[in-house]
Amino acid sequence: MGVRITDGIMATMIGITQVTDDVTQLRNEVRQDLAALNDELAGLRRHMAEQSSPLQTEMPRTPCSCQTETPHTLSSNQAETPHTPSPSQIETSHTPSSPSPDGIT
């Protein structure tokens, strides 16, 4: 008994072969693109290293004023939290709740 190949099976086999070839071709293109990208990155790294070397020697070695905290600078907690008076501050406020004995408010 022999295996009978129908037109449908033949078309499926041809389709699978074409898809396999397409995937292989795409894989090779992606490999080439990645190799080119790696070359570009290596060139960029060399260029940046060449450009940054003279700049680093020209830069002063002291920290800039933006890196040092001054005493009048608010901490992040103080800057984010609005001032809410404590109960003891409310009680000692200068607004009398009742008139003073001499009638002066």
DSSP, res 67: G
C-beta separation of 70 from 64 below 8 A:
no
The confidence score (pLDDT) of residue 93 equals 45
C-beta separation of 33 from 41 below 8 A:
no
CA distance 41 to 34: 10
CA distance 43 to 46: 5
CA distance 17 to 24: 11
The confidence score (pLDDT) of residue 69 equals 55
The confidence score (pLDDT) of residue 67 equals 61
Please give the chain's pLDDT, 105 residues, in tens: 567 889 999 999 999 999 999 999 999 999 999 999 999 999 999 999 988 887 777 776 666 666 655 555 555 445 445 556 655 555 544 445 555 555 555
